[in-house]
Each structure stands twice: as structure tokens, then as C-alpha cells.
Chain A
């Protein structure tokens, strides 16, 4: 099995889908000759031509709208947001046009909007956001948040083949830091199936994206530091559709839960998970549901500030100890 980085896995998934289906094309800023800001599409325009790796003016409304129109006509566009932060500029087309079209007039909009999200790379307030929650809260959209290279490839393929609009938020910190065996051939990771990233018995950490690695780091430290706590880590993979069963099954098993995300706190995804756990697994809980998230502030640039903003393994460990003390 070839070893691949997270970004290579996404690229490979797109490449294979473009070979498999000539309705699939990619559109966005600087993705052609330049190969994209993160080089995800380097060399793709040479192979597929400028009609399928489509460079556009710097205008998100224009190319997201074009992708929606093309999708209505049966094509399968993949839109690259150069940075996920910029998705706010075309919010109207995504939430008012794409998300509501099937419900309103039975017109499917099979687009994938993908791009780098997340902090930890000193990107500052406009290149570090985690904008997923606005779209989680928009019925009609699906939201994918891969953590591993294996999932990055399998989920992008599932997203491209999906008949509904899918937002696929890559974590830019993982692009070249995560490297693992990824099958060379065709496989799909179905949307809406969470993954047990680490099996454990005492407490569940439910998370997604780059925070999966923070949770795993915390789990290993807790195992080594004589706490005697066996942590289970659940990687959600998708926020919509949500694998609620996997979340509840883990909580029922461990009776304690930490909800971890890099997005800011208030009305973040942890709030929704907490509500589901409280209503459907209340009887199983031995401790309050705890959240570990970024605080309610923009993502700052300067290293000591950004480090203070991002959740770390030490924050997860503190929350685990607090929960275990009940």
C-alpha cells in the first residue's frame, strides 16, 4: 500500500474521480498553472486540460454560482475555496440557493465545496477559521471533516458521488504532517459513519478534524502518566449526516464524555452533541458533559496568542481528570 500524505490523498481521490467520470471538474482561484495555494492540483491542468481544471476571476460568488448552475445541468463540480474563511463571501448562494433547491423544486445540486480550514499554521484571523457550524445548521447541506489520509481520499470520493451539496473542510495543518498507508485503488468511505480512533473503556472524547490527534495525544499521555484512565476517541468524520448512534454507543459504554473541537465555543458543534447525549444517554452519565474548545474570539496571528487560542492535549487531560473526579 502506498504511503501518502493527507493532501496527496485528497488529490488522488479527486484525480481518480475525474478519470472515472467526465462530468467531474474542478473550479476555483489559482488552481490551474499554479496548482492551487497549497499545490493540491499541481499538474492536474496539464493532465485534464483547462476545461476541467478551471481557473476563475477572484470572485467566490461567480464561481460557486457557476458550479451550482453546472450541477443543476448534471455536471459534478468541485469548488476549491482557497481558504475556508472566504466561504462567508458566498454564503447566500450556498445556504439560499444550493441548500434549498432540492426541497423547493426537486432539483439536486451535486457540488462539493472544499478547502483548507483550521489554525495552527500562524495564518491569522482570515486564514485559520473553522466555518463548519454555519453549514451544519443549514438543512440541505452535508458537512465532511476528515482527519486521516485514508478518510480524506475515501470521503472526497463519497462527497463527489453524493447527489447533494457537500462541504468538505480539510484541515491545513494535516496536509503534509499526516502520512499513512492509503490503498491505491478505488474505495469510498460512506458519509455519516464515525470511526473509533482509539478504543477505550473509561471516558469518551468525541471530536473531528485535527483535534483527533490532540485527543489521541492526550489519551496516550493519560495512559502513560499513571492516571490509569483508558480513553476512547471517536472521530466523527462527518458532522452532517451525523453518526449519533456511534456517539451514544461510546457514551453508554464509558459513561463519561469530553466534547472537543477547534471551532469556538458558543453554539459550536459540541453544544449539539451535548444536547443529544443529555436527552438520549442521560441515564448512563456518571459525570457532567464537558467541552474543550477554542474560546469565543477570532483566531489570532502571533504564536503565543494562537497557542493560547487552540485546544491542546493538556486541556483535554485537565477535562478528563475533572470528569474522572466525579
Chain B
């Protein structure tokens, strides 16, 4: 296992914790009736987006899905903007046109996913194609769930990425449920890697609750893509420690599974690792956490200060303005 510097350990921990606490706060805003649309969180899955996106360079691009909040944060999207987007406010990245993390920011290298989840994969390929076209040494990290891998767009995109040897890393967040559908109803093979191998894409099964395991696997895959050796698929096995969205109580998931995966919590696990290897002290960790709490509170305050969009702007931006 990689030795973790103090700086890396503290950044990984604080990113995962920020994702966890921000999403927790967002769920509360939903329960308070302040968020009117869907709330999709990645509790228990923080290690995947954190351990991978932390390695991107400024000109690289991420294409995260809705349970990959750490990727948005690591690219520099301010937490208050995430909250503002959920709240439907004017200063959120979509100015109230879309909710939750259906958002993108080109200057930050974040490409927006859409609700038909697999659609992002061929689009992410196009971003990687642009790097190839311009002979730019950059890479794309493309995230999707196990459910997305049943769609035709995903299969077409896997094949295309392999044929073109695109500089992209496909990160499958296999949280074992797509809404209420378990992986066993999603496919007859055991793993997503079984699917991707058929396209000639090197694959690796990764413990998605081990941030350092994700980090190492992503490091290799990113290096491979950057060298022009083509795409890699990482199947990060984890568990969705929530319903599909905040309205969903997930009664269809056996309770024992939540209990089993609770013990594998990626944040607690990483905390333990940092303490055992003397990377951070208990005091250091507590300091990280109190900073995170303050950040979450100020994010909510700032987001709530942002006004709702003015209905007079309803039609703005359907097309480029004629200038």
C-alpha cells in the first residue's frame, strides 16, 4: 500500500468528509422542504470520486454522476454553489434551470451528466477525443453506476473508446443497486469488468471503500491514458448507504446489507489508517472535521442568501444570444 503524506492524507480525508457532511446537510434541507427536487447522495461511496479526481491536472476533465460529489469539489466548485443548485437559486451553476448535481462548469473541467445516466459516457469520449485531436496530454475521468452499464449508449461508448484508444478512465461506481434493481437483475455476469473485457478494455476490480486502493488504481489508469495507451475500466465495488433519492426508504434492500457495509465505512476506515500509520493525529483529524463543519455551514448560509431566478429570464440561453 502506498505511503500517504500528511498533505495527501489530510486532503483526501477532508474531501470525503466534506462530501459526507454537505450531502447530509442537503438531505436535511430536503426534509425541511427547502429543496423541492430530487436529492441523490453518495454516502459510503466518497472514496471513489475523492481517490480518483484528486489526481487530475488543471486541464484534465471529469464527468461525474450524482454520487460523485467529491469530483465536483476537487475541481474547485465551491460547496455553496452545490447547495444553491439544489435550492434552485440564481447563483447556482445552472441558475435554477436544473437541480441536484446536474451541473457542469467548463472552466473547471466539469462536464455535466444528465438523467439518462449512460449518456455521459459517449460525451466523455468526445472530450477525450478532443485531447487526442489537439495532441493534448490530458485525460478524462468518466463516472457511472452499475445501472448505466445496461444501456446501449454505454456499450457503444465502451467499444468506441477502445477502438480509438482514448485517453479516458472509466470509473464504474458499482453500488449494487440501480434505484431498486440489484446487479443480479442488471446482468447475468458477475462484474462490470466482465462486460468491459469484451471490448478489449483492461479492467480492474477495486475495493471502492478503500480510498488508497482507489487512488492507486486510478493512478495507474491515468498514467496509462496519459501515455496514449488507451482507456481502463475500474469497477469500484461499494454500497449505496441510502435510498435512490431522499424520498426513497429503500425497503427493498435487505437490512443486513446496510449493517455489513456500515462496518466498511470509507471515512472511518481511512481515519483508522491515518492514525495507525501516524500520518495524522486524533487532534489533526478533529481539526480537519471542524473546518469541514464550518465550511458546510457557511456554504448553506451563502446559498440561502442567493435569490431565486427572475422568471423574466425564462427563455434566456435556449440559444446563443444573437450578437
With CB as the reference atom, state the residue of chain B lying closest to A141.
B319
Determine whether A102 belongs to the interface, using a CB cutoff of 8 Å to chain B: yes
Task: Pick from B15-23, B93-101, B248-256 the stretch touching chain A.
Answer: B93-101
Q: Do B123 and A72 touch across chains, with their CB atoms under 8 A apart? A: yes
Task: Pick from B128-136, B200-208, B226-234, B300-308 the stretch touching chain A.
Answer: B128-136
The 0/1 profile, CB within 8 Å of A marked 1, for residues 118-157 of chain B is 0101111111111101000000000000000000110011
Q: Do B111 and A96 touch across chains, with their CB atoms under 8 A apart? A: no
> Could you say which of A65, A71, A92, A103 contacts B317, with CB atoms under 8 Å apart?
A103
- In the complex, which residues of chain B have a beta carbon less than 8 angstroms from the beta carbon of A61? 122, 152-153, 156-157
- In the complex, which residues of chain B have a beta carbon less than 8 angstroms from the beta carbon of A62? 122, 125, 153, 156-157, 159-160
Are A68 and B97 CB-contacts (below 8 A) given A62-B159, A104-B112? no
- In the complex, which residues of chain A have a beta carbon less than 8 angstroms from the beta carbon of B84? none
Interface residues of A in 44-80 (CB under 8 A from B): 51, 56-57, 59-75, 77
- In the complex, which residues of chain A have a beta carbon less than 8 angstroms from the beta carbon of B163? 56-57
Bound Cα distance A51, B164 (Å): 11
- In the complex, which residues of chain A have a beta carbon less than 8 angstroms from the beta carbon of B283? none
Determine whether A97 belongs to the interface, using a CB cutoff of 8 Å to chain B: yes
> Could you say which of B116, B157, B320 contacts A163, with CB atoms under 8 Å apart?
B320
With CB as the reference atom, state the residue of chain B lying closest to A75.
B130
Q: Which secondary structure dominates chain A's binding surface?
A: helix
Are A105 and B320 CB-contacts (below 8 A) given A72-B106, A73-B127? no
- In the complex, which residues of chain B have a beta carbon less than 8 angstroms from the beta carbon of A104? 94, 97-98, 102-103, 112
Bound Cα distance A140, B133 (Å): 27
A51, A56, A69, A163, most chain B CB atoms within 10 A = A69
Determine whether B188 belongs to the interface, using a CB cutoff of 8 Å to chain A: no
> Could you say which of A74, A105, A108, A139 contacts B98, with CB atoms under 8 Å apart?
A105
Determine whether A107 belongs to the interface, using a CB cutoff of 8 Å to chain B: yes
- In the complex, which residues of chain A have a beta carbon less than 8 angstroms from the beta carbon of B61? 73
Bound Cα distance A101, B123 (Å): 12
Determine whether B318 belongs to the interface, using a CB cutoff of 8 Å to chain A: yes
Bound Cα distance A317, B111 (Å): 53
Determine whether B32 belongs to the interface, using a CB cutoff of 8 Å to chain A: no
Q: Do B103 and A105 touch across chains, with their CB atoms under 8 A apart? A: yes
- In the complex, which residues of chain A have a beta carbon less than 8 angstroms from the beta carbon of B94? 104-105
- In the complex, which residues of chain B have a beta carbon less than 8 angstroms from the beta carbon of A68? 122-123, 126
Q: Do B160 and A66 touch across chains, with their CB atoms under 8 A apart? A: yes
Distance between B114 CB and nearest chain A CB, rounded to angstroms: 5
Q: Do B112 and A101 touch across chains, with their CB atoms under 8 A apart? A: yes
Determine whether B182 belongs to the interface, using a CB cutoff of 8 Å to chain A: no
- In the complex, which residues of chain A have a beta carbon less than 8 angstroms from the beta carbon of B125? 62, 65-66, 69
- In the complex, which residues of chain A have a beta carbon less than 8 angstroms from the beta carbon of B124? 69
- In the complex, which residues of chain A have a beta carbon less than 8 angstroms from the beta carbon of B156? 57, 59-62, 65
- In the complex, which residues of chain B have a beta carbon less than 8 angstroms from the beta carbon of A57? 156, 159-160, 163
Bound Cα distance A75, B102 (Å): 23
Q: Do B152 and A73 touch across chains, with their CB atoms under 8 A apart? A: no
Q: Do A106 and B317 touch across chains, with their CB atoms under 8 A apart? A: yes
- In the complex, which residues of chain B have a beta carbon less than 8 angstroms from the beta carbon of A51? 133
Interface residues of A in 96-142 (CB under 8 A from B): 96-97, 100-108, 139-140, 142
- In the complex, which residues of chain B have a beta carbon less than 8 angstroms from the beta carbon of A63? 122, 160
Bound Cα distance A207, B160 (Å): 39
B61, B93, B126, B152, most chain A CB atoms within 10 A = B126
Distance between A190 CB and nearest chain B CB, rounded to angstroms: 10
Determine whether B115 belongs to the interface, using a CB cutoff of 8 Å to chain A: yes
Q: Do B126 and A71 touch across chains, with their CB atoms under 8 A apart? A: yes
Distance between B105 CB and nearest chain A CB, rounded to angstroms: 7
Determine whether B104 belongs to the interface, using a CB cutoff of 8 Å to chain A: yes
Bound Cα distance A69, B127 (Å): 5
With CB as the reference atom, state the residue of chain A lying closest to B159.
A57
Determine whether A170 belongs to the interface, using a CB cutoff of 8 Å to chain B: no
Bound Cα distance A75, B131 (Å): 10
Distance between A241 CB and nearest chain B CB, rounded to angstroms: 8
With CB as the reference atom, state the residue of chain A lying closest to B138.
A73
Distance between A75 CB and nearest chain B CB, rounded to angstroms: 5
Q: Do B105 and A105 touch across chains, with their CB atoms under 8 A apart? A: yes
- In the complex, which residues of chain B have a beta carbon less than 8 angstroms from the beta carbon of A72? 106, 111, 123, 126-127
Bound Cα distance A25, B133 (Å): 10
- In the complex, which residues of chain A have a beta carbon less than 8 angstroms from the beta carbon of B95? 106
Bound Cα distance A43, B128 (Å): 27
> Could you say which of B106, B160, B318, B320 contacts A59, with CB atoms under 8 Å apart?
B160
With CB as the reference atom, state the residue of chain B lying closest to A163.
B320
Q: Do A74 and B103 touch across chains, with their CB atoms under 8 A apart? A: no
Are A105 and B122 CB-contacts (below 8 A) given A69-B130, A75-B133, A140-B319? no
The 0/1 profile, CB within 8 Å of A marked 1, for residues 83-98 of chain B is 0000000000111011
Interface residues of A in 10-66 (CB under 8 A from B): 25, 51, 56-57, 59-66
- In the complex, which residues of chain A have a beta carbon less than 8 angstroms from the beta carbon of B111? 69, 72, 107
> Could you say which of B93, B129, B159 contacts A70, with CB atoms under 8 Å apart?
B129
- In the complex, which residues of chain A have a beta carbon less than 8 angstroms from the beta carbon of B130? 69-70, 73-75
> Could you say which of B93, B115, B152 contacts A96, with CB atoms under 8 Å apart?
B115
Bound Cα distance A61, B124 (Å): 12
Instruction: List the 4 closest pairs (A to B, CB-CB), nearest first.
Output: A69-B126, A65-B122, A62-B160, A73-B130
Chain A residues packing against B (C-beta within 8 Å):
25, 51, 56-57, 59-75, 77, 92-93, 96-97, 100-108, 139-140, 142, 163-164
A-B contact sample (5 more), CB < 8 A, given A77-B126, A97-B114, A103-B97: A56-B160, A65-B126, A69-B124, A93-B123, A164-B319
Chain B residues packing against A (C-beta within 8 Å):
61, 93-95, 97-98, 102-106, 111-112, 114-116, 119, 121-131, 133, 152-153, 156-157, 159-160, 163, 317-320
